[in-house]
Amino acid sequence: MENIIKSYLDEMISSKVPQEVHMHSNAIKPHHHHKIDHKHGEGSSIDFYAYNSKIRHWNPTFKVLLSVLTLLLCIVLNNHYVSVAVIIAMTYLTVVKGGLPLRAYISVLMIPITFILLGTVTIGIDFSSEPIGQYNLNLGFCYVFTSQAKLWAMAFLILKVFGAISAMEMMALSTPSSEIIGVLRKAHVPKLIVELMYIIYRYIFILMDVHTKMKNAAESRLGFCDFKTSCSTFGNIASNMLIVSLKKATAYYQAMEARGYDGDLVFLEQTGSVKVSQLVFTTGFLAGLILLWYLTN
């Protein structure tokens, strides 16, 4: 906890931001379960890992560009050797360089597994009234069929998706969102949107905190004892949360005005410079991916 508070305060103090926002930003509650399941909502563990990453001090623009370029190459080249190379390289960066526990990394990669399995199986199989294809199954009124080639295509698609996810997660697990937003600002995304993103990012944690408190209060009063009660409790918490958040919104605006907000949010950013060795390695890696594609195609 100490670490996050420190890193939060380090990176975003500026006289034009309401103090309340900082106070509440400390309220992130990372959870340390590294189970392979679909677990989130009670706080964002990815954000927590990003602040603790050993490669956090790397220049954020460099990390975002590396991640996005790798991601694009992985999708555009559409080659399974490239996908495997991307998975290995990005896992190396995140786990070895970034110091993220392997189990935590795998659990993050496994979040979309339901979608991937359902989606890929759907692509792999097909229906027909004739028994065609290498493997088919008679369902009575039609045949489900697939072929060796399709099964390979499915496997390659899964590799490509995991390559893309590992490239994106390399960025997400090493760069806190406020720094990613900073990169967007440098990329000339409209000021209004960047400002909204900065504020929304902070409010998310405030609301999560409010929600955790309300949920605990309801749970200790048997608010989730059965399905019916859970539904009404969920609805009541959600509506109450909107009321609380609107009240807070007014208070925050006043706090911002009291600190001289005149329509511009300015944030202090600490960004390390890009090392020559990093640039050399990146260029080599991206060129290597293209070469690999060229050689195997």
Partner 1 sequence: MNVKEKRFVAVVAVLALAFGTTPVANAMHIMEGYLPPAFCIAWGVICIPFLVAGYLSIKKTLNENRKAITILAMAGAYIFVISSLKIPSVTGSCSHMTGTGLGAILFGPAAVSILGLIVLLFQSILLAHGGLTTLGANTFSMAIAGPFVAFGIYKLGLKLKINKHVVIFLAAALGDFFTYLITSFQLAMAYPSETGGIAASSLKFLAVFAPTQLPLAIIEGILTVVIIIGLETYASSELTDLGYLAGGTK
Residues 133-172 that bind partner 1 (CB under 8 A): 157, 160-165, 168-169, 171-172
Q: Build a one-symbol-per-residue string for 251-280: x at contacts with partner 1 by CB under 8 A, - elsewhere.
A: -xx--x------x-----------------
Residue owning tokens 């380090």: 10
CA angle 23-25-28, nearest 5°? 125
**Residue 204 CB, nearest distance to partner 1 (Å)?**
5
- Which residue from 84, 197, 274, 286 is in contact with partner 1, where contact means CB under 8 A? 197
**Residue 282 CB, nearest distance to partner 1 (Å)?**
18
Binding region for partner 1 (CB under 8 A) out of 88-96, 98-106, 207-215, 266-274: 207-215
214-253 positions binding partner 1, by CB under 8 A: 224, 227-228, 230-236, 238-243, 245-246, 248-250, 252-253
79-118 positions binding partner 1, by CB under 8 A: 108-109, 111-112, 114-116, 118
Region for residue 133 given its phi and psi (left: phi exceeds 0; alpha: psi -120 to 50; beta: otherwise): left
Question: Quick one: 71 or 292, whose CB is closer to partner 1?
Answer: 71
What gap in Å lies between CA 216 and CA 28, rounded to an integer?
16
Type of residue numbered 64 = V
Element (H, E) at 238: helix 227-258
Question: Quick one: 192 or 276, whose CB is closer to partner 1?
Answer: 192
What gap in Å lies between CA 202 and CA 19, rounded to an integer?
12
The Cα diameter of the chain in Å comes to 74
What gap in Å lies between CA 42 and CA 44, rounded to an integer?
7
- Which residue from 6, 31, 39, 275 is in contact with partner 1, where contact means CB under 8 A? 39
Question: Quick one: 191 or 275, whose CB is closer to partner 1?
Answer: 191
Size of the site for partner 1 (CB under 8 A): 84
What one-character DSSP code corresponds to residue 103?
A: H
Question: Quick one: 116 or 274, whose CB is closer to partner 1?
Answer: 116
Question: Quick one: 128 or 284, whose CB is closer to partner 1?
Answer: 128
Find out whether 286 and 70 touch, Cβ atoms under 8 Å: yes
What gap in Å lies between CA 92 and CA 97, rounded to an integer?
7
Region for residue 252 given its phi and psi (left: phi exceeds 0; alpha: psi -120 to 50; beta: otherwise): alpha
CB-based contacts of 199, cutoff 8 Å, min separation 6 = 21, 265
CA angle 239-245-251, nearest 5°? 150
Count of beta carbons in the 10 Å neighbourhood of residue 148: 10
44-83 positions binding partner 1, by CB under 8 A: 44, 46-47, 68, 71-72, 74-76, 78
**Residue 29 CB, nearest distance to partner 1 (Å)?**
13
Q: Does 196 bind partner 1 (CB under 8 A)?
A: yes
- Which residue from 102, 155, 193, 217 is in contact with partner 1, where contact means CB under 8 A? 193
Question: Quick one: 249 or 268, whose CB is closer to partner 1?
Answer: 249
Helix crossing, 148-172 with 60-77: angle to 10°? 170
- Which residue from 36, 54, 102, 128 is in contact with partner 1, where contact means CB under 8 A? 128
**Residue 257 CB, nearest distance to partner 1 (Å)?**
9
**Residue 162 CB, nearest distance to partner 1 (Å)?**
8
